[in-house]
Amino acid sequence: MAKESEKKQEKKQDKIKAKKDSYGADSIQVLEGLEPVRKRPGMYIGTTGPDGLHHLIWEVFDNSRDEAMGGFSNDIEVAFLPNNRIRVVDNGRGIPVDIHKQTKVSALETIMTVLHAGGKFGGEGYKVSGGLHGVGASVVNALSVFCEVIVHKDGGIYIQEYSQGKKKANVKKIGSTKEHGTIVSFEPDKEIFKEGVEFDFNRVVNHLRQQAYLVRGLRITVIDARLADSVKIENDETFYLRNLKLDVPSYTFYFEGGLSSLVKFTNQIFKPVHKNIFYIEKQIEGVESVEVALQYVDDMSPRVLGFANNIFNPEGGTHITGFKTTLTRTLNTYAKKNNMSKDGEDNFTGDDVLEGITAVISVKLREIQFEGQTKAKLGSMEAQGAVSTVFGDAFAAFLEESPDDARAIIGKAVLAMKARKAAKAAKDSVLRKGVLEGMTLPGKLADCQTNEASESEIFIVEGDSAGGTAKTGRDRRTQAVLPLRGKILNIERARLDKMLASEQIKNLVLAFGTAIGDTFDISKLRYHKIIIATDADVDGSHIRTLLLTLFYRYFKPLIEGGFVYIAQPPLYKVKRGKEVMYFYTEEEKVKHLGKDAEPIITIGDNESRAELLVAAETDVDEEEESTTNKKSNKIHIQRYKGLGEMNSDELWETTMDPARRILKQVRIEDMQEADKIFEMLMGDDVPSRKHFIQSNAKLAKIDL
């Protein structure tokens, strides 16, 4: 036995040695051309999900916008075409088409097929630009199954087509023109974007509206031509598709007010705390432009948007750091100087002065550094000092020159400071009370057995009836259930101290394990799937909206981390003989059964299960069916409205079983738009909510 063991060990060592010996130069793989992009797309666009898909549009649009920032263009059109294609047109100088000395091919081909090739690395091609890595156009090309560039330049029309980053032919002149500019069309590759290649029109509209505010005098048109009967876009004389006068949705944006207009637009559903919008734009040594606009509104959430060379930075960066630090310092200085704090020696914190603010900070730099190709965070250190200097001086002057606005702003910060202290005391009291009573978890929570958060999930259900069914039908090892008693508190206008006095919200906080407010710690999250499972009626929709409001305002990292889901229970259970089917939409049921399936026995929501069994007995006897070799046409349909109407087996196989259920992941695609929606639906803006309900009432599906 000992000798056999030694032989096995020797063989194992020989295999290890062979692997080491085989690791030589031949093992090193060199990716050529645009292969690195297709191999590791996440390095260049962040993700191959919806965010990365839309990032392709931003990359192409940013090139056109940079032409406008340089004063070479004033008109950009983005069109949605059939077959998931996007077409971006600008009236700029047009991409150069002459031969590039270094690559020996057309400059157009070089830009589209070579990484780190572009006109933004130096020289006078661009004074300020959003692109700096020279990978934008080539990355879009690499990740598209179809890409075409048409250049109108120096009286000629030039074209080149590509597929998956490789040219299909050389650059070719196809005609003459009086226009000047570039047309880029592309179709994303389904092999890369496996989650889907359908673009969201509203998402693009919101993004491009924002861009129009940032470049004064730039006209941006967005056209949804996906359903157009005929869109003539092949090698013809059509430059802007809007000239075809297609009967399709379209928007045109053009603003002269700059960031002040953007702040006004963002605050249109809120009540301003002060009348005048603060605004400053100034050039400072080392930075081409610093532009800041702000206004406080009667709300608790801050809205701070950062842009660097017109690129939106969702993760902030040095310019946002400079702004926040200076805002806190300036308001503290003014309050002390004018004896307005009224709260002893305490200073405002950053959270105090940010409550209810809408601010837009835009910087333009010649040499700019982002943290990553997706440009989500600005890394240029000179931006921090520039914003601090320009904003600090101008905002201090604004407070002195506008005493009414200053009093309103300081009053807002004082209220926020008092609320913060009260909330902290209430939170400490709640947590301390929980520890003393030994109630680390709420009593109604049926917890799961595993302690591994990565495989744990919690179902938040509506009422004890659904809770009892879910607790019986669940997988006890990995699935926890927390039933809610009615509707939770609407937290849109409630502060933390009032929230923690709510038993329902306190139960949620304790169940998640992350704490809340300034002590929130996502690393302590107990479940990596938080699943909202409410009934398919108006009350269920309201409860779901209340929960999403809570998550968005106080547990946003849970949404951003992809931990929040919405369960999709079926609307119908259909029985035909021995066959049982579940349908999740009315359309799905009609498509499968047909409109003329007869006879249909419909079991209403108010009928008992005993009545269902009686109805089932009217079906054809199974022995008779086998004898006559005929199937019954009788169909038994049960319409579910609540999870409590299902038995545990039905709930498991339709809603809780990971192998068969349907879950919708909650994502934040546009933070500005999300803010507006929650404020409109759950805030004090009754006129906007009334208008929304009246405009969308026909879309509601209500069972009477």
Catalytic residue list: 462, 535, 537, 539
Q: Which amino acid appears at position 417 of this protein?
A: M
SS3 state of residue 308: strand
- Please tell me the distance from the alpha carbon of residue 685 to that of residue 269, in angstroms, as a whole number: 7
- Cα end-to-end distance, the chain, whole Å: 79
Q: Where are the beta strands (DSSP E) in 396-468?
A: 457-462
Instruction: List the Cα angle 276/280/282 in 5-degree steps.
Output: 170
- Please tell me the distance from the alpha carbon of residue 675 to that of residue 300, in angstroms, as a whole number: 11
The number of CA neighbours under 13 Å toward the Cβ of 255 is: 18
Q: What is the DSSP string of 257-304?
A: STHHHHHHHHTTTS-BSSSSPEEEEEEETTEEEEEEEEEEBS-SS-EE
The number of CA neighbours under 13 Å toward the Cβ of 193 is: 25
* Nearest C-alpha neighbor of 488 from the set 549, 537, 536: 549
* Nearest C-alpha neighbor of 389 from the set 282, 295, 305: 282
SS3 state of residue 115: coil
- Please tell me the distance from the alpha carbon of residue 457 to that of residue 566, in angstroms, as a whole number: 12
Strand-pairing partners, residue 223, are 79, 250
- Please tell me the distance from the alpha carbon of residue 475 to that of residue 700, in angstroms, as a whole number: 34
Q: What is the enclosing helix (H) or strand (E) of 161?
A: strand 156-163
CB 413 within 8 A of CB 334: no
Listing from the earlier edge strand, what are the strands of the sheet with 572-576? 579-583, 572-576, 635-639, 600-603
CB 184 within 8 A of CB 88: yes
